Structure formats: structure tokens, C-alpha cells
Structure 1
Amino acid sequence: MNISGIHHVAVICSNYEVSKVFYTDILGLEVVKETYRQERDSYKLDLAVGGVYQIELFSFPNPPERATNPEAAGLRHLAFRVENLQKEIERLKEKGIPAEPVRIDDLTGKRFTFFKDPDGLPLELYEG
């Protein structure tokens, strides 16, 4: 295999409108394309992160809840790189989104924190 990068990350939400506002208005991701698929009763929202298309936000009728927090088998969390961690934590706080206390990565010495999307998906802000 010759993998050259990550094409996208797919996220299924339980309330499309709430998650759309969270990912676009709160996190500031850019809408590339929004599609309603009538045969699936499902929306697909393509979002760009830092000018590069990377996240697909899906709605499906009655999706099952996430098993547990980050330690469940499967995707653990989604991490976003930021230049100034404290500034971004303050922006989240202004919008009513709590973040965990800042931690230091034992291997890199970089600072990071976790917060959650409307469905409880763990999201990370990683400074660097």
C-alpha cells in the first residue's frame, strides 16, 4: 500500500442541526457541501479543516449511542492542532463548552485538552 494521507473522518450525529451548529459556528469548520439523501433520510455535511476537506458529518435515523468514553474499542478521539491552546479554550468557554484541565503529553511535552461534541464524542485540542 502507498497511503499518502487521511482523506476524511466520518462522524455520525444524533441531532444534525445541533451538530452542524457545533462544528461550523463553534469550531469554525468550513462547509464544503451539504447533501440530503432522501432514500436514507440522512444528511451528509462535508467540512474543511484548515482549508483541507477532512470531516464528513452524517445524520441517520436513531443511531446507537457511543459505548463509552475514549477507552471504547474503535476510534478513540479526534484531535485538532491549534497554535494557542489557552486562547482556544477561552473561545470554547465563551460558547459554553467546557474543556478538561490542560495536560502535557509525556512523549512530546506538548500541551493538550479534551472537550466533547453534542453527542459526547471526545475531541482534543493539541497545541503545536
Structure 2
Amino acid sequence: MELTHTRLLVDNYKECFLFYRDVLGFEVSWGDENPLYADFKFSGATLGIFERKQMTEAVGTEYSTDSEKVDRTALIFKVNSVEDNYQELKDRVEFITRPTEQKDWGIKVAHFRDPDGSLIEIYERI
């Protein structure tokens, strides 16, 4: 697996987008203030921001604004084959989602959590 970026899951997407772009001066490598997803490149790393409501829909959890009950971040790993990694890991981790094509995103994904509950996504481009 290759860690490609960290994704912040936010409720105020536009405000956060403008903060990272205009206040911190991060270079936008994908997206803008409207699509509810963007990537910023800096110092060889990528920071993604994504509207939390859309992420909860993708993993099939209930959206809440209660900070004790929601994911705030996700670690995103690129893999050669989501299906192969799913088969390899399914006896060792409890997957939240099965391998699913997200055609609007141009990727195939699956999600699981680490022992402390952190959200992890594996993906491949389609």
C-alpha cells in the first residue's frame, strides 16, 4: 500500500477550502470551492478535504454533527487491486464497505477501521 494523502472530513467545506488555499497558501492540485472535494499539494504531501456528509454516505454510516460520533480524518492508501487487498485483509480486518466502484470519483474503494476506530480507505483508479 502507498499512503497517498490524508483527508480531512469537514462540515464547512467552502470555508475550509478558502482557509487552506487563501490563509495557509496551499496549492490546489484538484477541485475548487464548489465540488465539496479538493486536494492541496505541499512539501511533497497531499491534503484532501471532503464534505463529511458525502463520506458518511460512501461508507454507509449515519451523518451527525456530534463530534464524538463522526469521523474527522481518513487515511487514504493507493493499492494495485482493491479486490486483491480486500481478499487478503478480510480475515484480519472488519470492512465497513466491500469493494465498490465510485464512478463519479474515478476510483474503486473499500473502507475499514484501525483498532482505535480511524477510518482507512484503499483505492485504485478505474
- Is the TM-score greater than 0.5? no
Higher percent of residues as strand: 2
TM-score w.r.t. the length of structure 2 is: 0.43
The structure having more radius of gyration, on CA atoms, is: 1
